């Protein structure tokens, strides 16, 4: 299948190094301590953070650091075919684990011993790149909740189809069967916290695709920072601490 | 800008889902005009000097490709909406369109109108997709005119009347293809305009000229929905139609649902299907099974009686006529093959055809539009009705035509003229026809391909010498043995007696992959060509000449890079160890087979090279003997060799190719190298190896051979290749040529060996029947076969010298590569054979002569003879049209009694009897039953 026309346009009209349209909002769930909505094109993810609060199951309490829990789910209406998906299917379990580990690396857990932080992530609409969108949404929700972090975690996917590295695959490209990888980085520290790829790719190509995904992540980081800044300014106005 | 496209789609499980896709609209898409002040012109193609900028609609692309391919059409905008529609409707046309777009001299430009913010339109309520696309084309055309302003004249080419009038309403200049071509002032170009479209313009003219307009000749095709339903219910069967190469009135459809081939008898039942079309077939009830010849005669009456042609002896079962085999089978076993008739065509396989116009009287006046019948060189293709305004120019030319349509009320399909190749009978033209018919690319290599070659003069560099993984074997006495005058030497050998009493034997193959790197234009081109093609008078290379004849050729006294297979062998030719390495060699002699043989035979010569040759020959003989004991077949095919005049390229003499011991020696070591390499790569890449297999022939493939042998009292055991080899050895008659003849007949019972990807089959299927080898591949000729290039890469990866190219990690890619190689290989062979046939014809044109012949088959109207000296085979008619007058000797009124069971034919007066495998004498001459259609004819000499 031809994913990129010889004229250099992808099926949806993007060029290989272009990302889909980004949209983010914080504070979308009033009850939560922190929340965010994150959209990459038609992929739409909502995240809510509760905590830090007391550990619910006492035996799980960690005396030197905070307990981070994560629950990932997909809304029944998130794909074309309406289907109820459990929280405990294997894909959901794996994703919960990946999101928890990636974010745990960013949270300064040692500052909050014997406490618990809950992260809930739900996919509202799936169109490829849900893994990256979930991490970005959760990362913003954590920031919104005021949880101390080393840096924002930002994630982006890239793939390799028709002998071309492509940034931010949508669903059709994702099911094209080519190698695709998801990377999560700390943009300020310039460190990688997540790197996942399921298929084989020669080392030099891998290098190229990885660089592309990291560049994409940095662009997303820029956008996320901006959104958070705007939100903080809005809050500051509301409190009256900041004057125009 | 963002727009969401949403549509409803049915899933495989029958559920209906809504699909939403993002659709980005851009403002950075350039218009492609070189003179545009606003857009990026780096990839632009449309020139200011062009009189018009043309925009074409989908139907123009679908029906007028031959016109678009003509150079007169340039500066064309191809809208992405058109491109997408063409791609969905006809992939081969899409590829042809892409080829034009990629050609920078044609000035075609693809405009992504669907992603441009000003030209993207949403479908209106109630608008059909077709109407929406037509409107999109008009909007884009209008945008172009406004964008480019008065500096250019933009014309929308469309044959759709409604579209044209709507375009004119909104101020767009719009023309029909016909009118536009007419305005160019070159009437002969009108021949290129496809008929189906031309018809709706000058319907009256067309109607008058077509004979029996009212008569319906063929049944209407069923509509697609009915076909789909019928296939689903099992009433109809789907398959690819294959027309018999030797009898175009018989076709077969391989159907999975029936489990065997369905026979389609006669043009009526073929119902306008072409060879290669995917068709839907309905089985005929038993009562209509063959035997009722009436149907056949009815649709044959106007075609001239088809005679079997005189041609080269078939080299394998793939070349032999299939039909005779089939008929005899059904007679013998009494099994009825299912018969069917085509009720619809699912996918057309129309391509361009080479041929000439059927001779006809010149109509009065000149320059008028006349109808003519085009006769394809490929006998499987029916005659095609074309219109031309240049009949006088075309009548003695070889031309290319393509098909536009075939209506049920027309006996012949209608098509149009594409281009002229040259004069009929001209050697170069006829050769070109062979190349085109076999889909062989004989164009010179493109600049991008030549740019991949290392600079000349090339020599081994210090870098190569110091390379850790390259062994320096320059001290070895390496030599090559090839046919006289061979310039592309891809293999060399050495043989050294070691102190421990073992022999070190090496096969050194040109290191082509050191120069041909995966993914380069050079590699792509070689992969497409697949093999070099050997015609009688020329060679069409797979790789450019500097590589084949210089850089890679293992010539004498120069240092060359090689890929070597090294064995340690005992004096009894038992392999003790094998190793593989990249190497540097310096050949000490490039011998011809004749020279090598002479050296070995001359007992006075005692030099080191001759000693090595003799040692090798001794080892080779043992290896060959062992191979034969394992059951390898020594088959025979009469290879003909022409002596060609260097000036005129006409054949001077013809003779059989002589096989010497030296040939067999080289062949033996090449086989051994191929087997060793096959074992090595399969061990490392069990799923991704490219191997070669030779399928075991089925018993009924041997049927004709067994019957012939039985008629002369020879029993052949076909239970295994070993049994066959033994019984072939015992098949000796009084006549010294008898054994060879039986072997030639045995060879043509087998199919060809094929390449395959090891992941697609299981180990027992890898077997090579002819060589009696469990594993085999091609490693020894990378200069002229692409399969060997792949195997070189696999071996290098297996040795850890390089990475395996990523496409080899994909089984389906490897399978499609091997399919292409099999196709190219087969075509190269067909072209080579056809080239020999062509030169045989030229040879006999001025030299009719008598020759000894063997009867290989008795049939109802005479027999088939084989002429060993020239390697040709053809019918001698005793009965009916074309029967030879002198055959019966004195009594001219004599009749013949044919006994096909006993394979004899006897004169009724008892004077004369012919039996199969008998010796007879024939007269060979070229006759021209129709002007410009020379053919060989064999007649009996009394
Ligand atoms: Zn422009």
Token reading at B779: 């490693």
A204 close to B (CB below 8 A): no
Query: pLDDT per residue over A111-139, tens digit each?
Result: 999 999 999 999 999 988 999 999 999 99
* Containing structural domain, residue B919: 848-941
Global pTM exceeds 0.90: no
B166 and B243 assigned to the same domain: no
Which of B544-558 are b and which e, b meaning 16 or more Cβ less than 10 Å from the residue's Cβ?
bebbbbbbbbbbeee
- If you write DSSP's letter for every residue of A49-87 in order, what string do you get? EEEEEE-SSGGG--SSS-EEEEEEEE-TTSSSS-----T
Question: How far is the alpha carbon of B216 from chain A, nearest alpha carbon, in Å?
Answer: 42
Question: How far is the alpha carbon of A149 from chain B, nearest alpha carbon, in Å?
Answer: 34
B786 and B665 assigned to the same domain: yes
Per the CB < 8 Å rule, is A7 touching B112?
yes
Query: pLDDT per residue over B612-668, tens digit each?
Result: 888 888 999 999 888 888 877 776 666 666 776 666 666 666 666 667 788 888 888
At residue B385, does pLDDT exceed 70? yes
Looking at mean pLDDT, say which of A7-11, B300-304, B920-924 comes out highest.
A7-11
B664 and B790 assigned to the same domain: yes
| Strand intervals (E) in B844-902 | 849-859, 862-867, 872-877, 896-899
What pLDDT band is residue B316 in, cutting at 50, 70 and 90? low
Three-state secondary structure call for residue A132: helix
**B121: Cβ contacts below 8 Å, ≥ 6 apart:** B132, B135, B136, B139
- Spatial distance between the Cα atoms of B644 and B652, rounded to a whole number of angstroms: 6
Q: What's the confidence (pLDDT) of residue B366?
A: 53
- Spatial distance between the Cα atoms of A123 and A111, rounded to a whole number of angstroms: 30
Q: Compute, in angstroms, the gap from residue B191 CA to the centroid of ligand 1.
A: 35
- Spatial distance between the Cα atoms of B779 and B788, rounded to a whole number of angstroms: 5
The pairing of beta strand A180-186 with beta strand B53-56: unpaired
Interface test with B, best of A13, A164, A207 (most B CBs within 10 A): A13
Q: What's the confidence (pLDDT) of residue B137?
A: 93
- Is B797 among the domain residues? yes
Name the more confident of A240 and B542.
B542
Query: pLDDT per residue over B457-481, tens digit each?
Result: 888 887 777 777 888 888 888 999 9
B235 and B339 assigned to the same domain: yes
Per the CB < 8 Å rule, is A6 touching B18?
no
B720: Cα within 13 Å, side-chain hemisphere: 10
* Minimum-distance CB partner of A81 among B15, B26, B102: B15
Q: How many C-beta neighbours within 10 Å does residue B307 have? A: 15
Q: Which residues of B touch A178 (CB under 8 A)?
A: none
**B203: Cβ contacts below 8 Å, ≥ 6 apart:** none
Q: Which residues of A touch B9 (CB under 8 A)?
A: 80
Question: How far is the alpha carbon of A53 from chain B, nearest alpha carbon, in Å?
Answer: 41
Question: How far is the alpha carbon of A67 from chain B, nearest alpha carbon, in Å?
Answer: 39
Using CA of residue B206, residue B208, residue B214, residue B216, what is the dihedral sign? negative
- Is B12 among the domain residues? no
- Closest of B694, B589, B593 to residue B641, by C-alpha: B593
**A213: Cβ contacts below 8 Å, ≥ 6 apart:** A156, A157, A158, A167, A181, A182, A183
B486: left (phi over 0), alpha (psi -120 to 50) or beta: beta
> Please, what is the average pLDDT of chain B?
80
Q: What is the 3-state secondary structure (H, E, C) of B895-942?
A: CEEEECCCCEEEECCCCCEEECCCEEEEEEEEECCCCCCCEEEEEECC
Query: pLDDT per residue over A157-191, tens digit each?
Result: 999 988 889 999 998 898 887 888 999 999 999 99
- Is B141 among the domain residues? yes
- Per the structure, the count of domains in chain B is 4
Edge to edge, what strands does the sheet with B904-907 contain? B896-899, B904-907, B913-915
The pairing of beta strand B352-357 with beta strand B370-376: antiparallel
Q: What's the confidence (pLDDT) of residue B369?
A: 73
Give B326: exposed, middle or buried? Use CB within 10 Å, 0-12, 13-18, 19+. Answer: middle
Name the more confident of B550 and B700.
B550
| Closest alpha carbon within chain B to A9 | B112
Q: Which residues of B touch A21 (CB under 8 A)?
A: 2, 22, 24
In the predicted model, what is the mean pLDDT of residues B353-361? 81
Q: What's the confidence (pLDDT) of residue B408?
A: 81
- Closest of B802, B805, B797, B789 to residue B511, by C-alpha: B789
- Spatial distance between the Cα atoms of B54 and B175, rounded to a whole number of angstroms: 10
Q: Which residues of A touch B119 (CB under 8 A)?
A: none
Query: pLDDT per residue over B90-141, tens digit each?
Result: 888 898 899 899 888 899 999 999 889 889 888 888 888 889 999 999 999 9
Per the CB < 8 Å rule, is A172 touching B98?
no
% chain B with pLDDT above 90: 14
B242: Cα within 13 Å, side-chain hemisphere: 14
Q: What's the confidence (pLDDT) of residue B303?
A: 47
- Is B612 among the domain residues? yes
Q: What's the confidence (pLDDT) of residue B81?
A: 92
Per the CB < 8 Å rule, is A12 touching B110?
no
CA angle A198, A203, A204 (to 5 degrees): 125
- Spatial distance between the Cα atoms of B605 and B617, rounded to a whole number of angstroms: 15
Question: How far is the alpha carbon of A81 from chain B, nearest alpha carbon, in Å?
Answer: 6
Per the CB < 8 Å rule, is A200 touching B809?
yes
In the predicted model, what is the mean pLDDT of residues B772-776? 89
Q: Compute, in angstroms, the gap from residue B111 CA to the centroid of ligand 1.
A: 11
Per the CB < 8 Å rule, is B101 touching A6?
yes
- If you write DSSP's letter for every residue of A204-232 in order, what string do you get? HHHHHHHHHHHHHHHHHHHHHHHHHHHHH
* Minimum-distance CB partner of A13 among B18, B23, B110: B23
* Phi, psi at B778, each rounded to 5°: -115, 120
B257 and B327 assigned to the same domain: yes
Interface test with A, best of B4, B13, B22, B83 (most A CBs within 10 A): B22
- Is B442 among the domain residues? no
Name the more confident of A184 and B813.
A184
Q: What's the confidence (pLDDT) of residue B325?
A: 41
Q: How many C-beta neighbours within 10 Å does residue B206 have? A: 18
In the predicted model, what is the mean pLDDT of residues B788-792? 93
A9 close to B (CB below 8 A): yes
Out of B295, B312, B347, pick the residue that ends a domain. B347
Per DSSP, B551 falls in state I
Question: Is A25 in contact with A44 (CB distance < 8 Å)?
Answer: no
On whether the A22-239 domain is CATH 3.30.200.20, my answer is no
Query: pLDDT per residue over B46-65, tens digit each?
Result: 888 888 899 999 989 988 88
| Closest alpha carbon within chain B to A2 | B87
Prior bond to B455 cis, omega within 30? no
Q: What's the confidence (pLDDT) of residue B638?
A: 63
B488 and B590 assigned to the same domain: yes
Q: Which residues of B touch A14 (CB under 8 A)?
A: 24
A199 close to B (CB below 8 A): no
Question: How far is the alpha carbon of A144 from chain B, nearest alpha carbon, in Å?
Answer: 29
At residue A149, does pLDDT exceed 90? yes
Three-state secondary structure call for residue B783: coil
- Is B697 among the domain residues? no
% chain A with pLDDT above 70: 96
- Spatial distance between the Cα atoms of B255 and B239, rounded to a whole number of angstroms: 5
B576 and B648 assigned to the same domain: yes
% chain A with pLDDT above 90: 65
Question: Is A49 in contact with A35 (CB distance < 8 Å)?
Answer: yes
Q: What's the confidence (pLDDT) of residue B324?
A: 41
In the predicted model, what is the mean pLDDT of residues A201-212? 89
Question: How far is the alpha carbon of B759 from chain A, nearest alpha carbon, in Å?
Answer: 18
Interface test with A, best of B5, B7, B24 (most A CBs within 10 A): B24
B150 and B228 assigned to the same domain: no
**B786: Cβ contacts below 8 Å, ≥ 6 apart:** B526, B527, B529, B530, B531, B542, B821, B824
At residue B291, does pLDDT exceed 50? no
Question: In angstroms, how far is the first alpha carbon of chain B from the final one?
Answer: 89
List C-alpha distances in Å: B417 to B194, B277, B390: 9, 22, 10
At residue A230, does pLDDT exceed 90? yes
Question: Is B249 in contact with B312 (CB distance < 8 Å)?
Answer: no
- Spatial distance between the Cα atoms of B273 and B856, rounded to a whole number of angstroms: 34
Reported as type and span, the H/E element at residue B825 is: helix B811-845
B80 close to A (CB below 8 A): yes
Q: What's the confidence (pLDDT) of residue A99?
A: 94
ipTM of the complex: 0.89
* Minimum-distance CB partner of B19 among A21, A80, A163: A80
B890 and B784 assigned to the same domain: no
List C-alpha distances in Å: B825 to B338, B542, B763, B792: 32, 12, 24, 18
Out of B315, B347, B379, pick the residue that ends a domain. B347
CATH number at residue B229: 2.40.50.690
CATH number at residue B935: 2.40.50.140
Query: pLDDT per residue over B201-218, tens digit each?
Result: 443 333 444 444 445 678
Q: What's the confidence (pLDDT) of residue B308?
A: 61
Question: Is B114 in contact with B5 (CB distance < 8 Å)?
Answer: no
Out of B327, B347, B367, pick the residue that ends a domain. B347
Reported as type and span, the H/E element at residue B747 is: helix B738-747
Q: Which of residues 41-80 of A touch B (CB under 8 A)?
A: 41-42, 80
B822 and B926 assigned to the same domain: no
β-pair partners for A161: A164
At residue B890, does pLDDT exceed 50? no
A174 close to B (CB below 8 A): no
- Is B180 among the domain residues? no
Q: Which residues of B touch A76 (CB under 8 A)?
A: none
Per the CB < 8 Å rule, is A81 touching B112?
no
In the predicted model, what is the mean pLDDT of residues B681-700? 86
CATH number at residue B50: 3.40.50.1010
B20 close to A (CB below 8 A): yes
Q: How many C-beta neighbours within 10 Å does residue B48 have? A: 13
A127 close to B (CB below 8 A): yes
- Is B922 among the domain residues? yes
Question: How far is the alpha carbon of B114 from chain A, nearest alpha carbon, in Å?
Answer: 8
B50 and B90 assigned to the same domain: yes
Query: pLDDT per residue over B822-868, tens digit each?
Result: 999 988 988 888 888 888 888 888 788 888 888 877 777 777 888 87
In the predicted model, what is the mean pLDDT of residues B511-527? 89
Token reading at B350: 């129309």
A34 close to B (CB below 8 A): no
Q: What's the confidence (pLDDT) of residue B931?
A: 62
Question: How far is the alpha carbon of A154 from chain B, nearest alpha carbon, in Å?
Answer: 23
Per the CB < 8 Å rule, is A13 touching B4?
no
Give B11: exposed, middle or buried? Use CB within 10 Å, 0-12, 13-18, 19+. Answer: exposed
Edge to edge, what strands does the sheet with B53-56 contain? B108-111, B76-79, B53-56, B154-157, B173-175
Question: Is B453 in contact with B544 (CB distance < 8 Å)?
Answer: yes
| Closest alpha carbon within chain B to A127 | B21
List C-alpha distances in Å: A142 to A110, A137, B40, B325: 16, 9, 44, 79
Q: Domain extents for chain A? A: 22-239
Prior bond to B457 cis, omega within 30? yes
């Amino acid at each position: 299948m031809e994913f990129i026309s010889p004229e250099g346009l992808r099926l949806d009209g993007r060029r290989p190094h272009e990302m889909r349209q980004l949209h983010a909002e914080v504070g979308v769930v009033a009850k939560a301590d922190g929340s965010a909505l994150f959209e990459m094109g038609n992929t739409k993810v909502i995240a809510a953070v509760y905590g830090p609060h007391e550990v619910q199951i006492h035996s799980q309490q960690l005396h030197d650091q905070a307990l981070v829990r994560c629950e990932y789910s997909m809304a029944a209406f998130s794909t074309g075919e309406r289907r109820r998906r459990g929280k405990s299917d294997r894909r959901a379990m794996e994703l919960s684990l990946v999101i928890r580990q990636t974010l745990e690396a960013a949270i300064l857990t040692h500052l909050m011993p014997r406490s618990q932080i809950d992260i809930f992530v739900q996919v509202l609409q799936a169109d490829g790149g849900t893994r990256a969108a979930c991490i970005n949404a959760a990362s913003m929700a954590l920031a919104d909740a005021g949880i101390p972090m080393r840096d924002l975690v930002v994630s982006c996917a890239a793939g390799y189809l028709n002998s071309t590295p492509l940034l931010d695959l949508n669903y059709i490209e994702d099911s094209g069967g080519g190698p695709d990888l998801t990377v999560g980085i700390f943009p300020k520290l310039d460190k990688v916290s997540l790197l996942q790829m399921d298929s084989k790719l020669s080392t030099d190509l891998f290098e190229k695709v990885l660089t592309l995904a990291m560049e994409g992540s940095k662009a997303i980081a820029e956008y996320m920072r901006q959104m958070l800044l705007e939100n903080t300014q809005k809050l500051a106005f509301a409190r009256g601490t900041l004057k125009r | 800008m963002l727009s969401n496209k949403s549509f409803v789609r049915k899933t495989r499980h029958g559920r209906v889902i809504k699909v939403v896709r993002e659709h980005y609209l851009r403002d950075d898409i350039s218009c492609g005009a070189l003179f545009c002040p606003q857009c990026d012109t780096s990839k632009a193609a449309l020139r200011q000097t062009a009189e018009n900028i043309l925009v074409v609609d989908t139907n123009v692309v679908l029906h007028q490709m031959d016109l678009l391919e003509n150079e007169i059409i340039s500066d064309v905008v191809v809208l992405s909406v058109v491109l997408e529609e063409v791609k969905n409707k006809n992939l081969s046309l899409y590829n042809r369109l892409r080829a034009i777009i990629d050609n920078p001299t044609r000035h075609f430009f693809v405009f992504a109108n669907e992603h441009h913010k000003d030209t993207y339109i949403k479908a209106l309520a109630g608008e059909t997709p077709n109407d929406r696309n037509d409107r999109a084309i008009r909007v884009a055309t209008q945008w172009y005119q406004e964008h480019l302003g008065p500096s250019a004249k933009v014309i929308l080419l469309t044959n759709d009347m409604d579209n044209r009038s709507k375009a004119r309403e909104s101020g767009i200049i719009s023309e029909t293809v016909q009118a536009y071509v007419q305005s160019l002032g070159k009437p002969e170009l009108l021949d290129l305009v496809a008929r189906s479209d031309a018809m709706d313009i000058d319907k009256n003219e067309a109607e008058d000229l077509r004979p029996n307009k009212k008569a319906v000749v063929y049944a209407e095709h069923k509509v697609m929905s009915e076909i789909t339903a019928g296939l689903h219910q099992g009433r109809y069967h789907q398959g690819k139609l294959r027309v018999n190469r030797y009898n175009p009135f018989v076709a077969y459809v391989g159907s999975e649902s029936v489990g065997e081939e369905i026979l389609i008898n006669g043009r009526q039942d073929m119902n306008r299907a072409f060879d290669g079309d995917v068709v839907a077939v309905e089985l005929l009830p038993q009562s209509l099974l063959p035997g009722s010849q009436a149907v056949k005669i009815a649709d044959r009456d106007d075609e001239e009686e088809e005679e079997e042609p005189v041609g080269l002896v078939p080299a394998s079962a793939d070349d032999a006529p299939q039909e005779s085999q089939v008929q005899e089978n059904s007679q013998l076993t009494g099994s009825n093959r299912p018969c069917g008739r085509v009720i619809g065509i699912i996918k057309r396989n129309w391509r361009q055809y080479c041929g000439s116009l059927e001779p006809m009287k010149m109509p009065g006046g000149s320059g008028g539009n006349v109808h003519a019948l085009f006769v394809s060189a490929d006998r499987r293709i029916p005659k095609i009705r074309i219109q031309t305004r240049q009949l006088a120019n075309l009548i003695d030319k070889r031309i290319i035509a393509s098909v536009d349509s075939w209506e049920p009320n027309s006996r012949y399909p209608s098509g149009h003229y594409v281009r002229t190749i040259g004069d009929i009978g001209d050697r170069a033209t006829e050769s070109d026809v062979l190349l085109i018919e076999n889909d062989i690319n004989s164009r010179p290599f493109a600049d991008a391909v030549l740019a991949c070659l290392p600079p000349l003069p090339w020599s081994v560099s210090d870098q190569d010498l110091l390379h850790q993984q390259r062994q320096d074997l320059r001290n070895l006495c390496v030599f090559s043995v090839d046919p006289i005058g061979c310039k592309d030497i891809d293999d060399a050998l050495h043989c050294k007696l070691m102190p421990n009493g073992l022999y070190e034997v090496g096969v050194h193959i040109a290191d082509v992959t050191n120069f041909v790197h995966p993914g380069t234009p050079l590699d792509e081109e070689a992969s497409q060509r697949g093999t070099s093609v050997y015609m009688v008078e020329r060679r069409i290379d797979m790789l450019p000449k500097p590589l084949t004849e210089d850089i890679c050729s293992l010539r004498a006294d120069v240092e060359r890079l090689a890929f070597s297979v090294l064995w340690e062998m005992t004096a009894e030719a038992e392999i003790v160890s094998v190793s593989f390495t990249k190497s540097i060699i310096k050949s000490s002699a490039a011998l011809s087979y004749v020279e090598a043989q002479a050296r070995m035979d001359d007992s006075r010569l005692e030099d080191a090279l001759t000693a090595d040759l003799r040692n090798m020959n001794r080892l080779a003989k043992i290896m060959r003997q062992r191979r034969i004991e394992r059951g390898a077949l020594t088959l025979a095919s009469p290879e003909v060799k022409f002596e060609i005049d260097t000036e005129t390229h006409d054949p001077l003499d013809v003779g059989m190719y002589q096989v010497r011991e030296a040939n067999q020696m080289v062949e033996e070591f090449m086989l051994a190298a191929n087997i060793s390499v096959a074992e090595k790569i399969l061990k490392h890449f069990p799923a991704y190896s490219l191997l070669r297999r030779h399928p075991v022939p089925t018993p009924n493939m041997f049927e004709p051979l067994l019957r012939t042998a039985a008629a002369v009292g020879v029993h052949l055991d076909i239970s295994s290749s070993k049994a066959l080899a033994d019984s072939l050895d015992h098949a000796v008659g009084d006549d010294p040529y008898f054994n060879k003849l039986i072997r030639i007949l045995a060879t043509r019972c087998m199919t060809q060996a094929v390449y395959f990807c090891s992941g697609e089959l299981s180990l027992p299927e890898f077997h090579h029947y002819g060589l009696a080898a469990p594993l085999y591949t091609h490693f020894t000729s990378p200069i002229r076969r692409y399969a060997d290039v792949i195997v070189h890469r696999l071996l290098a990866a297996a040795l850890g010298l390089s990475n395996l190219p990523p496409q080899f990690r994909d089984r389906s890619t490897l399978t499609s590569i091997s399919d292409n190689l099999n196709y190219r290989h087969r075509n190269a062979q067909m072209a080579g054979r056809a080239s020999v046939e062509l030169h045989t014809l030229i040879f006999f044109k001025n030299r009719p002569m008598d020759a000894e012949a063997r009867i290989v088959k008795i049939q109802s109207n005479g027999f088939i003879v084989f002429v060993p000296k020239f390697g040709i085979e053809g019918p001698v008619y005793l009965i009916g049209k074309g029967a030879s007058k002198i055959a019966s000797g004195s009594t001219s009124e004599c009749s013949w009694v044919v006994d096909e069971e006993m394979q004899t034919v006897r004169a009724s007066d008892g004077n004369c009897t012919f039996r199969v495998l008998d010796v007879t004498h024939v007269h060979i001459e070229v006759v021209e039953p129709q002007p410009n259609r020379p053919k060989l004819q064999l007649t009996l000499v009394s």
